[in-house]
Amino acid sequence: MNERRSFFSSPAGGVMTREVGAITGELELHSTVDEDGALALRVRYAGADEWYAVEGGPYRLHDARDAEVLHEVLVAIINRPAA
């Protein structure tokens, strides 16, 4: 299983989660992908214990080797300043 974590500041409006709706502030993104390409995205407040599923999905990668670059792209998009 491929696993990545990154800290970022939420965009305006936050990141939408299944459990609690939008969360904002200093956050951590956790992505995992299994050998079949099933991708899981979770987010939490930086330093918190509880993780929340990012709204959307289910997600599946054509090639599980793409997980690392996808994680970096997601962080860049989520952390992008408003225009």
Q: pTM, whole model, 2 decimals? A: 0.86
Q: Are 73 and 8 in contact (CB under 8 A)?
A: no
59 is a domain residue: yes
83 is a domain residue: no
Count: domains in the chain? 1
> CA-based diameter of the chain, in Å?
37
9 is a domain residue: yes
62 is a domain residue: yes
- The predicted-structure confidence for 21-57, as pLDDT tens digits, reads as follows 999 999 999 999 988 889 999 999 999 999 999 998 8
Domain containing residue 9: 2-78
Query: For residue 35, what pLDDT is reported?
Result: 84
Rounded Cα gap, residues 36 and 52, in angstroms: 22
User: Mean pLDDT, the chain, as a whole number?
Assistant: 89
What is the arithmetic mean of pLDDT over 55-82?
84
Task: Decide which of 43 and 69 is more confident.
Answer: 43
What is the arithmetic mean of pLDDT over 14-22?
95
Q: Is the pLDDT of residue 8 over 80?
A: yes
